[in-house]
Structure 1
């Protein structure tokens, strides 16, 4: 195969790179460099080709590059404010190349004459972040900085926690439609509900995380309860371990970690993008993304994202129709920054899949023999969510900042569903239809002050914040007559018509409040960072059933201390440790138990973690060892009563890697090992057993390769593995380990000054059937999750 320096290929590659870096929609004044106008840029260290590509796109100029000139060369990147030619000069420093103007707003690269040297204009480096998303790490899939609530936005190398922030680039390139699609990149996170189900649910470090506990710009309970669309996200922060100090108590009490979705903002470059998409079996959709800045000094910004997708999935008689519209407005001045986000989503799913429960007298069903959708054609899930937030920051002076945010959501949910509980080895189960409605109202707020100062040689960053969360919800519905069906050979039953009984109307109010104080002390010129903090939390829950006050209401409070220490051993190596403690709302008995909706008292979780982070420049490796303790819950296999039973301790090791270790070759993934042990169970019956739904090993590894002989073409692959899992505390029933492989490709090119990106992905390319999860790790929703069949995803994005 001819290489990039082949005389026959060089003119073609030269032309293709010229087209690829043309940015006529982003053109700027030709006097930009001459009049001294400067802008803030963030270009990560890495290959010289990538650095030049990124800078040319951000600055809005045309750059023509002979690939042979930049092949094998690297750049130290840049961070700060620069004029255009000044920025190029810094990127090219020491490369032996120089910039040459060839016309209005157009440049080429040429070898610098022997003996000459590049002259760098004086620079003004004003900060380490660029835009809302912060600096992107090499490879573009992970951001360097992540949102940490009370502690603000931090670089991952200065964070005494394990955290990964995924960028919008990886969301778009993987065609992630929901949060469940995105978390497939992270070995510490697993989905525990079917992709074609009523809702999404996850585990982090082996412990349950509900969608209700996913924050939106740091505010809990604002995002849709059941499924979160990814087209609204600029970044997604995944924090491992209890996060109560950072964001306060979460609505459902998740303790294994936290997820924060950061909304999109208008960038300095105008955005006008349309994406047409196809997902097998026959889902067609379109998405628009429009962003503009306007006003004096571009102080005002507008960003709108809209989605419409509908059609059949790979499962029999299953279809999904979803709509999303999110508008983000922002204002930025010298000392004041304001933003508001307003969103509305609707999702209609016909024949949504349920987890498969396994009766006492039944063995684990054979997933490979389940070839048809066992959900009835008349079953449905209808969800509608309207939400909004307002956030602000004000710099009182150079050392004091005030911040705050408020959010609200109103949701209406309507389900007609049936459980799937096999009673024997033949796979028989009873279809008992249930009409279930749930209406929710959420109001939440946070406010705080952040102060930077020094006492002698010690620096301080003190944070004081208060938070409040309120949610009320009402559940109701009806039951219908049962009919038989089979997991392997489903039987279509009549559409339910006459209820056999009405469910009680259950109304619940949750009120969480808290005050947190922390101080990050910096020693030895901030090479040693010590964070100490505590959060006072109050949890108040009241419930009524058919207007009769419940007996399980409570009002409790606790002070939870936390701390972390980080040592920058070198500029590339950080060592850290932390202790996190938090109060969580008590578990709620699931619909599969006989004491459905019973509310249990709050509980305390504790984590100890030590780790290391190595930033090699083109790539990074992080490692962590952790231990999390909390109460264990179960739904008794015989009585079907849900309640606490002993304690569980998750001890584990995480290793992750991301970046671009070789020019044009990117990695994203890692491995997690967990030893999850039960103790203090009733009469010691299950002591020493492994906690349910917790695999020992999770492995995720994705790779991307830019084909050197075809500019703009990238090939992708990803492998996912989980070891075996037990279904219950007795460890008598077990699902096998599983693996999934995905492949894909994308091709970016220009036509008439429009950038077009074609993407194609195949998920579960081998079309394997397996049980991907044994249910929620806390056993609040037991049952098996069936893998998604082979799915084809195609899209075309046009950037105008």
Structure 2
């Protein structure tokens, strides 16, 4: 990108900033009293899923799902039942359906309150009982609150209307100058998603680096690697598992496309293409006891218990418990998988103070693991083997466990000023025998040198900050100040084991290596401390038609490395201590409620290199790599259908050694440009499309000696498409079907573009059916098939990996 083009891209943003700043300085500062003006809700389509049950319970569910207050005489609904309502429709129409056959009618008292009465009643009956639409609570939290303030689901219930945008807090997607999407608990349940890899199969900008029966949940977002360690938990890094994420205790998965240094701080491994935030479950207004039986092919069996209750005055205390277990053989040869997940979520809310806490334990044993494959330089990639075959060994395995916890606190000093603090941590232990078979010839012969690895990691993470809302003349401000701290210590012990030979088409078993005499205690190898201070201001004017977000974060990275043998610092393991300031700016222009235009400039940070021994500048410590993104986009919200179209460019620097001078420099560069389209909602009753398409151009702009300049970046395809739908059929009540097509075009394994990986396509299908028992509680049967055609293909998103084989998932859930 030329300098002149960068200036052209910055001009609209800077002009908007000057305009808002001028308006701000033209008037004295005045703290704005919070006004919760509610727009009429009766005509806004909402998603309803209310089964047949007693009318009193049905009205409580209606209030929660519609956002309306419901006032009803308890004697009026006694011994009256409703046949329920489902689908996306205006609340008035949903309520009419809910009351059909009950002999009752409704009347709007005002824009946000509805009451029930008998036809012809002259006035409301005395003694009404007020039903809260969301939580049965006697307090109203401010808009800037994070705890207990999830954005409502969008039409169809599969995605949310918005989510957490780092230190900016929760924002509607139409008012967010970045590309985001948030998948809900309903979608996780209906798609039987077990891991993050399962849920991101709906996102056209994301690909999993590994296939089934592998090591962790690392991803490729916008053509750049994002590791599991870069996932955050309730906005805090260093809490969730560094290996694999189980979704049993997760309520939402928030996906941010693009760098996030200002918003979230530098992630542990320096994610560039995007980040994932996991939102844990909380107790809902209605008591929940849900038991689920699970089956996964070939012989995996398991179950899940999900229990939620609220207690105390105004139901101010909440407890949500989840326990899940699966174990047995997968469809992959020699592979078995056992997973245990236990989570507990607690919350407390008063008029001005909110507290929540999480505690979790995750354990996984995988035998016959099948991680990535490599290939000899210059060799053309052979055809993919049968996806059920395992090119690793039956004795390969990875075992890990994680114990993690987190505590958050919020207090409102005034309706417009809120302070918060959160702290969390994790201890992870792992034992592995893993290796990456290398393909040696066109016949598929392989050579693998496995290693015995024992490791651990501990982290302590914290953030404190505050948010304030005020006005300066015609401009509203939402300012955020944050300080972050993340300390991570890790250790490992790696021993190389004897090499084994096999074949991808006809796997050969080798005797298990002897582990006698190999130490079992890992040695500390590194300690990383990342601290930062961030300040951001969200300015809005003209009734939010013009919005600007500006801010910056000062980040410091301190690394101590230790000998893997002695655990001590040596000259061969130099430390690292560098800082960087990362600014960001974003704007939203929303001329109409249904349409918004946005743009941003934002950066990502990665630890810079240290020149190795043997180079002319050995020992030189470079500052953190600064990757930057320019993005322009448009968003649509028709009430029942939403979409985002964005064009972006991300530039990532890299270190290269000059062959002539033998000097390490930060002159390498990869540039990914893309066009991204995503859609969601329920444009027609019961029909919910989801997915989109991404066009990518990943280019190696600057390489060592210029040898590969202009080549396509490894692992970056030109086209990624994920298109799916979920359809509540009209011919069978409460019966739904779903389908998804995933397509990825050709990519390259090597920087010279001599080893292409063919394009691939995968089709997934699903169905579910619900019944309602006499007590009004639902029972739901779900069935899904991943890779229906059992297609065999290679994937090349960061690593070479085999496709998942055809996999059947079946579950039966019942509420009690």
Smaller-chain TM-score range?
0.7 to 0.9
Matched, 1:755 2:771: no
Report the Cα distance in structure 1 between the residues aligned to 2:132 and 2:517, rounded to whole angstroms. 74
* Aligned mate of 2:493, from 476, 492, 499: 476
Matched, 1:291 2:308: yes
Matched, 1:540 2:563: no
Report the Cα distance in structure 1 between the residues aligned to 2:330 and 2:339, rounded to whole angstroms. 13
Report the Cα distance in structure 2 between the residues aligned to 1:574 and 1:118, rounded to whole angstroms. 42
Residues 118-267 of structure 1 mapped to structure 2, 5 A cutoff: 132-267=149-284
Residues 586-605 of structure 1 mapped to structure 2, 5 A cutoff: 586=608, 602-605=624-627
Report the Cα distance in structure 2 between the residues aligned to 1:63 and 1:123, rounded to whole angstroms. 6
* Aligned mate of 2:670, from 635, 648, 658: 648
How far apart are residue 453 of structure 1 and its match? Answer: 0.5
Residues 441-480 of structure 1 mapped to structure 2, 5 A cutoff: 441-480=458-497
Q: Larger deviation: 253-262 or 360-369?
A: 360-369
Q: Larger deviation: 55-64 or 396-405?
A: 55-64
* Aligned mate of 1:493, from 482, 507, 510: 510
Report the Cα distance in structure 1 between the residues aligned to 2:626 and 2:555, rounded to whole angstroms. 11
Which residue in the other structure is 1:790 paired with?
A: 806
Once the two structures are superposed, what CA deviation does each residue of 1:23-65 show, in whole Å capped at 9, x if it has no partner?
xxxxxxxxxxxxxxxxx999997768x5473898997227999
Report the Cα distance in structure 2 between the residues aligned to 1:656 and 1:580, rounded to whole angstroms. 21
Distance change (3 Å), C-alpha of 1:657 and 1:613: same
Which residue in the other structure is 1:510 paired with?
A: 528
Matched, 1:393 2:410: yes
Which residue in the other structure is 1:424 paired with?
A: 441
Report the Cα distance in structure 2 between the residues aligned to 1:381 and 1:64, rounded to whole angstroms. 44
Which residue in the other structure is 1:346 paired with?
A: 363
State the secondary structure of the residue aligned to 1:230.
coil
Contact 1:52-1:91 within 8 A present in 2 as well: no
Which residue in the other structure is 1:330 paired with?
A: 347
Contact 2:271-2:604 within 8 A present in 1 as well: no
Report the Cα distance in structure 1 between the residues aligned to 2:731 and 2:118, rounded to whole angstroms. 26
How far apart are residue 105 of structure 1 and its match? Answer: 14
How far apart are residue 600 of structure 1 and its match? Answer: 8.1
How far apart are residue 634 of structure 1 and its match? Answer: 9.2
Which residue in the other structure is 1:61 paired with?
A: 58
Matched, 1:384 2:381: no
Contact 2:42-2:90 within 8 A present in 1 as well: no
Distance change (3 Å), C-alpha of 1:94 and 1:663: closer
* Aligned mate of 2:704, from 662, 667, 682: 682
Report the Cα distance in structure 2 between the residues aligned to 1:313 and 1:267, rounded to whole angstroms. 35
How far apart are residue 354 of structure 1 and its match? Answer: 1.7
State the secondary structure of the residue aligned to 2:248.
helix
How far apart are residue 471 of structure 1 and its match? Answer: 0.2
How far apart are residue 97 of structure 1 and its match? Answer: 7.7
Contact 2:232-2:277 within 8 A present in 1 as well: yes
Listed as ranges, the gaps of 5+ residues in structure 2 are: 1-37, 78-84, 108-114, 134-139, 612-619, 659-663
Once the two structures are superposed, what CA deviation does each residue of 1:688-716 show, in whole Å capped at 9, x if it has no partner?
00100011111111111112121110011
Contact 1:245-1:516 within 8 A present in 2 as well: yes
Once the two structures are superposed, what CA deviation does each residue of 1:407-446 show, in whole Å capped at 9, x if it has no partner?
0000100001222111222222223231101110000000
Contact 2:333-2:388 within 8 A present in 1 as well: no
State the secondary structure of the residue aligned to 2:229.
helix
Which residue in the other structure is 1:26 paired with?
A: none
> How many equivalent pairs are there?
729
Which residue in the other structure is 1:619 paired with?
A: 641
Which residue in the other structure is 2:71 paired with?
A: 83
* Aligned mate of 1:672, from 689, 694, 700: 694
Contact 1:446-1:465 within 8 A present in 2 as well: yes
Once the two structures are superposed, what CA deviation does each residue of 1:220-247 show, in whole Å capped at 9, x if it has no partner?
0111111000111101100011011111
Report the Cα distance in structure 2 between the residues aligned to 1:220 and 1:574, rounded to whole angstroms. 31
Report the Cα distance in structure 2 between the residues aligned to 1:406 and 1:476, rounded to whole angstroms. 29
Once the two structures are superposed, what CA deviation does each residue of 1:47-88 show, in whole Å capped at 9, x if it has no partner?
68x5473898997227999xxxxxxxxx9x843544359999
Contact 2:489-2:524 within 8 A present in 1 as well: no
Which residue in the other structure is 2:661 paired with?
A: none
Report the Cα distance in structure 2 between the residues aligned to 1:57 and 1:234, rounded to whole angstroms. 27
How far apart are residue 475 of structure 1 and its match? Answer: 1.1
Contact 2:341-2:362 within 8 A present in 1 as well: yes
Matched, 1:765 2:788: yes
Contact 1:479-1:500 within 8 A present in 2 as well: no
* Aligned mate of 2:288, from 271, 287, 298: 271
Report the Cα distance in structure 2 between the residues aligned to 1:738 and 1:248, rounded to whole angstroms. 36
Which residue in the other structure is 1:521 paired with?
A: 539
Distance change (3 Å), C-alpha of 1:599 and 1:327: farther
Contact 1:624-1:654 within 8 A present in 2 as well: yes
Distance change (3 Å), C-alpha of 1:477 and 1:334: same
Contact 2:105-2:117 within 8 A present in 1 as well: no
Report the Cα distance in structure 2 between the residues aligned to 1:53 and 1:252, rounded to whole angstroms. 44
Once the two structures are superposed, what CA deviation does each residue of 1:615-655 show, in whole Å capped at 9, x if it has no partner?
0111111111111001247999xxxxx99772011111111
How far apart are residue 752 of structure 1 and its match? Answer: 3.5
Contact 2:229-2:242 within 8 A present in 1 as well: yes
Which residue in the other structure is 1:4 paired with?
A: none
Report the Cα distance in structure 1 between the residues aligned to 2:68 and 2:90, rounded to whole angstroms. 11
Contact 1:97-1:110 within 8 A present in 2 as well: no
Distance change (3 Å), C-alpha of 1:216 and 1:43: farther
Report the Cα distance in structure 1 between the residues aligned to 2:773 and 2:66, rounded to whole angstroms. 30
Matched, 1:530 2:548: yes
Report the Cα distance in structure 2 between the residues aligned to 1:396 and 1:403, rounded to whole angstroms. 11
How far apart are residue 505 of structure 1 and its match? Answer: 4.6
Q: Larger deviation: 738-747 or 748-757?
A: 748-757
Report the Cα distance in structure 2 between the residues aligned to 1:643 and 1:763, rounded to whole angstroms. 45
Contact 2:96-2:105 within 8 A present in 1 as well: no
Distance change (3 Å), C-alpha of 1:571 and 1:275: same
C-alpha RMSD of matched pairs (Å): 3.8
